[in-house]
Amino acid sequence: MYAYIEERVLNVAEYIVEHGATVRSAAREFGISKSTVHHDMQTRLKNLDPALAKQVRAILARNREERHIRGGMATYLKYKGNPSKNELDKRTVIL
């Protein structure tokens, strides 16, 4: 594996762990595609740093579980308009 790929994989993994980032936000931050981030985290990271790969897998699994909640909130905001902060707090689910 090329050195620049190894460096990218480790940098993206550290970003995901530090920020609890999604694949999409990490891809946006590093200017690469979502499929590249996903491939880096699922395949390449295991060979480079297994301990870091385990942390990243846990974060991505949590993000996958929360995805339907974030989507529901986005739809709610789209059709409701801009609700007041109190109204949003009542409906926000903390996981």
Each residue's pLDDT tens digit, 3-13 = 999 999 999 99
Per-residue pLDDT at 12: 98
Per-residue pLDDT at 18: 97
Per-residue pLDDT at 74: 76
Domain, as residue range, for 76 = 3-91
Residue ranges for the chain with pLDDT beneath 70: 82-95
Cα dihedral 36, 37, 42, 44 sign: positive
The residue whose two tokens read 């993000």 is 63
Q: How many domains does the chain divide into?
A: 1
- Shortest CA distance to 95 belongs to which of 76, 75, 67? 67
Per-residue pLDDT at 56: 98
One-letter amino acid at 63 equals N
Per-residue pLDDT at 76: 80
